[in-house]
Amino acid sequence: MKIYLDPGHGGRDPGTSGNGLLEKDIALSIGLATRNILQKEYVGADIRLSRTTDILAGGDHLSTGQSLSWRANDANEWGADLFVSIHCNGGIANGFESFRYNGISSPTKLQKVVHREIMDQLPNWVNDRGMKSANFAVLRDTKMQAVLTENLFLGHKDSADWLKSNWPKLARGHAEALAILGGLKKKDKEDDMPTAEEVAKAVWRMKMQKPHAAKGVLWQMNSLLKWAYGHSLTAVRQGVVNEAKLDALITALTEHDEGLQERLNQALQDATLTVDVNVNTFEEEPEEEPTQ
């Protein structure tokens, strides 16, 4: 899975600013940390950044408009599967919002998952300003699924204060979303194996996308535990449990361990099996003009 991260602005283009923060600095910090999380904790991701230092992407000799074209072309030529442009908003409004190209009528899967995972990392006083669309160059000119995140308003004092120490949470949100979308597996943790209860919780939380592969991959208990642990933290929380797939998975697993069924049954009884169903409708808010 090729993932292209685009920390906005850079070099002589600082982007917006407020309360002692520069957009280009926050964007770069989030981009680098997102890459580090994906490389350290997951397997299967090939990651490229439009910039890794405080320069204008493509070179400081370019204009801002030329830099935007360079980012899109660089992602296209590299053959990226997913593109995420990372920004902060200007003004004093409160909230997080994400953008897709306005030639696409409804939110893409990329936008939905990225938006959801980032909102999960934010404090409850941050407004959800919705999944929006715009004619931004990096969204219009990229050939793959693309989204642009506006990570709070730097002119909003509470948001700026939160960002100063909590921006890594935004990187976590970006990374977890991309891991879900890319179907990335957690790296094995040999010394931290889960209990049967954790396995049961993981089974309940995950949306099995390839249940037919269970018998081939999970051929012994050790493989099961590693696999279940790796997926539990990247579960797709969409509010739906597919019971047919769950039953097929447990059947496949118990063929390899006669005692597993009893332990899973007990763990399922003890576990908290709540399913959150969040159906949000978003309205456009004309409070502030987003920056790119």
164 and 260 in a single domain? The answer is: no
150 and 258 in a single domain? The answer is: no
Residue 266: band (very low, low, confident or very high) from pLDDT cuts 50, 70, 90: low
14 and 68 in a single domain? The answer is: yes
120 and 162 in a single domain? The answer is: yes
Q: How far apart are CA 188 and CA 195, in angstroms?
A: 15
| Residue 287, in any domain of the structure | no
239 and 115 in a single domain? The answer is: no
119 and 159 in a single domain? The answer is: yes
Query: Quick one: which of 156, 141, 147 has its CA closest to 109?
Result: 147
| Residue 135, in any domain of the structure | yes
Catalytic site residue from 150, 243, 258, 284: 150
What residues contact residue 191 under an 8 Å CB cut-off, 6+ apart? none
* Owning domain of residue 258: 191-270
Predicted local distance difference test score (pLDDT) of residue 103: 95
pLDDT digits over 138-165, tens only? 999 999 999 999 999 999 999 999 999 9
Residue at which a domain ends, from 130, 151, 182 = 182
| Residue 46, in any domain of the structure | yes
79 and 176 in a single domain? The answer is: yes
Residue at which a domain ends, from 182, 201, 228 = 182
| Residue 290, in any domain of the structure | no
Share of the chain above pLDDT 90, in %: 61
Angle, alpha carbons 209-194-234 (nearest 5°): 35
88 and 35 in a single domain? The answer is: yes
13 and 157 in a single domain? The answer is: yes
pLDDT at position 176 over 90:
yes
| SS3 call for 240 | coil
pLDDT digits over 89-133, tens only? 999 999 999 999 999 999 999 999 999 999 999 999 999 999 999
Q: How far apart are CA 147 and CA 115, in angstroms?
A: 9
Task: Find the helix or strand (DSSP H, E) in which 89 lies.
Answer: strand 82-89
41 included as an active-site residue: no
Q: Domain of 81: which CATH number?
A: 3.40.630.40
Predicted local distance difference test score (pLDDT) of residue 187: 83
6 and 41 in a single domain? The answer is: yes
- Packing angle, helices 23-41 and 157-182, rounded to 10: 30
Cβ burial, residue 174 (10 Å; 0-12/13-18/19+): buried
Least confident of 37-51, 64-78, 207-221: 207-221
157 and 204 in a single domain? The answer is: no
Beta strands 145-153 and 96-101: pairing type? antiparallel
| Residue 283, in any domain of the structure | no
Instruction: Give the amino acid at 124.
Output: N
Q: How far apart are CA 270 and CA 237, in angstroms?
A: 20
| Residue 291, in any domain of the structure | no
Residue at which a domain ends, from 182, 206, 230 = 182
Task: Find the helix or strand (DSSP H, E) in which 220 lies.
Answer: none
How many domains does the structure of the chain reveal? Answer: 2
143 and 73 in a single domain? The answer is: yes
| Residue 289, in any domain of the structure | no
Predicted local distance difference test score (pLDDT) of residue 170: 97
| Residue 127, in any domain of the structure | yes
Q: pTM of the full predicted structure?
A: 0.66
